[in-house]
Amino acid sequence: MLDGKAVAQQIFDDIATKVGARVAMGKPRPKLATVIVGDDPASALYVRSKQKNARQVGIDSVDHRLPTEASTEQLLELIGTLNRDESVSGILVQQPLPNHIDLVQVVIAVDPVKDVDGFHPYNAGLVAQGLPGGIEPCTPSGIVELLDRGGVRIEGANAVVVGRSNIVGKPTALLLLRRNATVTVCHTRTKDLAGHTRNADILVAAAGQPNLITKDMVKPGAAVVDVSANRADGTQVGDLGPGVEEVAGWLTPNPGGVGPMTRAMLVRNTYEAEVRRRP
Ligand code: NAP
């Protein structure tokens, strides 16, 4: 088992110690500012969990809500205020945003040094070029951290990522490439998906399609990371079909795998953003 919950707890404990040490030196607590537009209950739940984790490690959090009908300009104005606020270490604008909001403008409006989601093209560009100094996106860096701490060898592995979104699939592929995996990215136009996945020593399923990855599509002994958070009958399921656990060598539980790691990376990014901005 690649136990995301347990590994995330280790990271929370580590950050709590570091935050405590900074506060003891008289430095300000890091602060996470979250923004939700609209009243999507799933977004509210995700943000509550992220704030709870931040508070648990001693990071302050402040929640901003805009109504569903808020304009792009109103959201940009709020982001500008948070960019200028000295006390704010990190800004998280929860996605999805209502359709009328210009997502690109929003993503580029967040100051890259406070972009704790790692979505700004400046940070994404550093990841793409394999350069240090930026902020890495939370879910992809959480996946790599989980593989590392689980003892999965990344260098030289055939890694197959199913999904190519800017927030999960693509950056996960780039982080694995940086670690010298041989990476294949699959998507809806991929011919013979199973032909690719059967070759994967590391298989990252991030398609958001329940039962997409069946047992016969998994190489025996592979490390399988089930990223997706699909809702079925009120519970969370990933992309894996029944029996994958019988062939996989490593497997993330779902829930309890990538989700907690994403939140742990957010907390870590917020702490590190604060340290970088105000050493
Ligand atoms: P997304 O933007 O909908 O992207 C899904 C990707 O999967 C797309 O690239 C799509 O291909 C590909 N895909 C869909 N169906 C496929 C199929 N049948 N065969 C091959 N590829 C297929 O979703 P996302 O934002 O990347 O998120 C992916 C999943 O991860 C979602 O379930 C989301 O809830 C979950 N998630 C979990 C966490 C966490 O912390 N656990 C964080 C973020 C996201 P095309 O590009 O061709 O359309």
| Contact by Cβ (8 Å): 2, 147 | yes
- The pLDDT assigned to 49 comes to 96
Whole-angstrom distance, CA of residue 242 vs CA of residue 231 = 16
Please report, for residues 18, 123, 128, 278, the alpha-carbon distance to residue 11 in angstroms, rounded to integers and kept in the order given: 11, 22, 25, 22
Q: Are residues 145 and 232 in the same domain?
A: yes
Residues 150 and 2: beta-carbon distance below 8 Å: yes
CA 268: distance to chain centroid? 12
pLDDT tens string, the chain, 279 residues long: the values are 999 999 999 999 999 999 999 999 999 999 999 999 999 999 999 999 999 999 999 999 999 999 999 999 999 999 999 999 999 999 999 999 999 999 999 999 999 999 999 999 999 999 999 999 999 999 999 999 999 999 999 999 999 999 999 999 999 999 999 999 999 999 999 999 999 999 999 999 999 999 999 999 999 999 999 999 998 888 999 999 999 999 999 999 999 999 999 999 999 999 999 999 999
Q: 228 CA distance to ligand 1 centroid (A)?
A: 7
Selection from 211, 213, 152 nearest residue 186 by Cα? 213
| Cβ(187) – ligand 1 distance below 6 Å | yes
220/143 same-domain check: yes
Quote the pLDDT of residue 233. Answer: 84
Shared domain check, 172 and 84? no
Q: How many angstroms is it from 24 CA to the middle of ligand 1? A: 42
173 C-beta closer than 6 A to ligand 1: no
- Has residue 165 been placed in a domain? yes
Do 3 and 45 contact (CB within 8 A), yes or no? no
Residue 98 sits in the same domain as residue 143: no
Domain-located, residue 278: no
The pLDDT of residue 234 = 83
Residue 203 domain boundaries = 138-259
Residue 239 lies in a domain: yes
**274 in a domain, yes or no?**
no
Distance 256 CA to ligand 1 centre (A): 18
CA distance linking residue 185 with residue 168, whole number of Å: 11
Which atom of ligand 1 lies closest to the CA of 164? 9
Residues 62 and 168 in one domain: no
The verdict on residue 18 lying in a domain is no
Are residues 72 and 166 both part of a single domain? Answer: no
Does residue 252 form part of some domain?
yes
35 and 51 Cβ atoms separated by less than 8 Å:
no
Helix/strand/coil percentages in the chain, nearest 5: 45, 15, 40
Residues 143 and 240 in one domain: yes
Q: Is residue 12 part of a domain?
A: no
Clarify whether residues 161 and 233 are in a common domain: yes
Same domain, 105 and 144: no
Task: Give me the pLDDT at residue 79, please.
Answer: 98
**Residue 133's pLDDT is what?**
93
In a domain, 277, yes or no: no
Say yes or no: 75 and 148 in one domain: no
Find out whether the beta carbon of 229 lies less than 6 Å from any atom of ligand 1: yes
Counting the structural domains of the chain, the total is 2
Looking at the fold, whether 66 and 147 belong to one and the same domain comes out as no
Task: Return the active site residues.
Answer: 50, 94, 117
CATH of the domain at 173: 3.40.50.720
